[in-house]
Amino acid sequence: MPIILFGSRGVTSTVEQGDFYCPQCDRREEYDLKQVRPFFTLFFIPIFPIGGGQRYVECLGCGGTFKERVLDYEPPSETDRLVAQFYNELKTGTSLEVIQQKLVNGGMETEKAEEILLSMCDGRPLRCSCGRRYHPQVPKCSECGADL
C-alpha cells in the first residue's frame, strides 16, 4: 500500500518594498511587505492555496515585524516631541515661563509656545505670589517654595 504524505504549510512571499518610519528603530528604514498564505502540500510540495493570506511589514533595519497599518504611521515632528517632553516637566513642577523659554530656544514662536502651554493647563494655570505660573496639578512653587 503506497503512502501519500499531505498536509499544509505557510508560503511567504514579498508583496511590496519601500521605506517607512520604523517605530522600533525610531527612524526611516527600508521594509518588505510580506504575505503568508497557507498551501495544501503533497509530499511537502505546495500545490494550491487553501486560505487567505496574512500580511505583515518587516523592517530591514532591525528585523521587527509590524501590522500593515504601520505604513500609514507619521512620526511625531520635532515640535511634537519637545511638547511631549515639556508637558512631563510642566506636570512635575517646572514653571510655564521656563518651559516657554525652552520652546522658544527650540525655534517656536513665543505666542505659539504660550498658546500650547495654556492648553496644557486647560487654560487655567496657577500663579504663585512670586509671579511664576504652574500646571494646576503642581502643589508648590519651584522658585520660592510657596504653596499654590
Which residues of the chain carry a pLDDT beneath 50?
A: none
> Which of residues 19, 50, 72 is at a domain's end?
72
- Which pLDDT does position 103 carry in this prediction? 86
pLDDT, residue 96, reads 93
Q: How much is the pLDDT for 58?
A: 97
Q: Which three cell numbers stand for residue 103?
A: 520652546
Please indicate, yes or no, whether residues 62 and 82 belong to a single structural domain of this protein.
Answer: no
Give the span between the Cα atoms of 31 and 64, in whole angstroms. 10
Which residue intervals of the chain are DSSP H helices? Answer: 78-91, 96-105, 110-120
Residues 14, 30, single domain; the answer is: yes
Do residues 41 and 11 lie in contact, with contact meaning Cβ atoms separated by under 8 Å? no
Q: In which domain, by residue range, is 95 found? A: 78-134
